[in-house]
Amino acid sequence: MAKVMFEKDGRIGRLTLNRPEVMNAIDDDLPRELEAAVARANNDGGIHVIVLSGTGKGFCAGYDLAYYAQASEGNGFEATQDMPWDPMKDYAFMMRNTEAFMSLWRSHIPVIAKVHGFAVAGGSDIALCADMIVMADDARIGYMPTRVWGCPTTAMWVYRLGPEKAKRMLFTGDTIDGKEAEEMGLVLKSVPGERLDNEVEALAERMAGVPLNQLMMQKLVVNQAIEAMGLKQTQMFATIFDGITRHSPEGLNFKKRAEEVGWKQAVRERDLGTFDWTTNRPINSAKDSQ
């Protein structure tokens, strides 16, 4: 079964993340299939707009941690290597994924991401590579692993939000709903969930009436302005730092904690801020957090 489905619907190419049993989490195959689907749409000649969405309960829940963190045997990539670790081995794998996500950015055809449920952690990396995002009001977006064990490799937060608001998201690891994401300027628009499909269809149909060469030129001009700000270099640093976060003392403690109490509990402690990853013990009082 395809992990990214492709459908041509007139002038609209529909790409759908398709791992609903794990909330469309990212494994080895999904980034490659996404890149291939984007290339297929770009090579079609008759598609003017791409709509990217997810099946099931949400857009994408990020990396499949059961696959990478708990079952690293045999998949060719270890989220946490034995020490001493090889940062370039980590970088090579993660940059391949970053480049696959960035196929949405490089696509000559404009991409609209339709987000319902959640686009979190690596799922937000995918969504933020699209040209525009339309979210459901009650959908959530954020990069929780910035609290420990992650750095968003596409680094698109700062380019969409500016430095201060990007720091607000990355210093806290908070998730925000669609309404707040629109207010912050992170996404184009937020609408009630029952209107999400119609809102995206109306936008896609409006864009689909524009000649493809016009769409390509406008996208190239806008993207070039971002590229000139050093996007490629920023992504290189972000991708290297992502590996460092997983091999720092705190990152190793987080992995150890996940092995002790289970991944869901460790993530809950991380996101709630109830565990001190430096001392590797729970935070029980205000004094402990000082």
pLDDT band at 284 (very low <50, low <70, confident <90, very high): confident
pLDDT for the residue numbered 68: 75
Cis before 84 (ω within 30) = yes
What residue type is 106 in one-letter code?
A: R
Inform me whether the pLDDT recorded for 136 exceeds 90. yes
Task: Give the model's confidence band at 79: pLDDT under 50 very low, under 70 low, under 90 confident, else very high.
Answer: confident
Confidence of residue 74 (pLDDT cuts 50, 70, 90): very low
Q: For residue 276, is it within any domain?
A: no
Count of domains for the chain: 1
- Identify the weakest region by mean pLDDT among 155-164, 195-204, 236-245, 276-285: 276-285
Q: What integer best gives the mean pLDDT of the chain?
A: 94
Cβ burial, residue 206 (10 Å; 0-12/13-18/19+): exposed
Q: What percent of the chain has pLDDT over 90?
A: 89
Looking at residue 285, its pLDDT comes to 52
Q: Tell me what pLDDT residue 156 has.
A: 98
Q: 18: closest CA among 57, 48, 65, 70?
A: 57
Q: What pLDDT band is residue 66 in, cutting at 50, 70 and 90?
A: confident
C-alpha–C-alpha distance, residues 161 and 175, integer Å: 15
Domain assignment present for 135: yes
- Range scoring the smallest mean pLDDT among 118-132, 201-215, 231-245, 272-286: 272-286
Task: For 38-105, give the DSSP string.
Answer: HHHHHHHSS--EEEEEESTT-SB--B-HHHHTS--TTSS--SSPPSSP-HHHHHHHHHHHHHHHTHHH
Chain CA centroid to CA 253, Å? 24
CATH number (domain holding residue 100): 3.90.226.10
Count of C-beta atoms within a 10 Å radius of residue 212: 19
Task: Supply 39's token pair.
Answer: 């290339």
Is the pLDDT at 134 greater than 60? The verdict is: yes
What separation in angstroms does the CA of 145 have from each of 19, 33, 69, 279, 285? 21, 24, 13, 18, 23
Please, which pLDDT band fits residue 289 given cuts at 50, 70 and 90? very low
Q: What is the pLDDT of residues 214-272, one digit of tens each?
A: 999 999 999 999 999 999 999 999 999 999 999 999 999 999 999 999 989 999 999 99
Residue 84 sits in which domain range?
4-247
Q: Please state, as a whole number, how many other Cβ atoms lie within 10 Å of the Cβ of residue 213.
A: 9
In this predicted structure, the answer to whether residue 23 has a pLDDT above a threshold of 50 is: yes
Residue 53 lies in a domain: yes
Q: Give the pLDDT of residue 75.
A: 55
- Position 211 pLDDT exceeds 90: yes
The amino acid present at 275, given as its one-letter code, is F
Asked if residue 281 is part of any domain, the answer here is: no
Confidence of residue 76 (pLDDT cuts 50, 70, 90): low
Confidence band, pLDDT 50/70/90 cuts, at residue 72: very low
Confidence of residue 2 (pLDDT cuts 50, 70, 90): very high
Please indicate, yes or no, if residue 257 is contained in any of the structural domains. no
Report the range of poorest mean pLDDT among 75-89, 195-209, 221-235, 248-262: 75-89
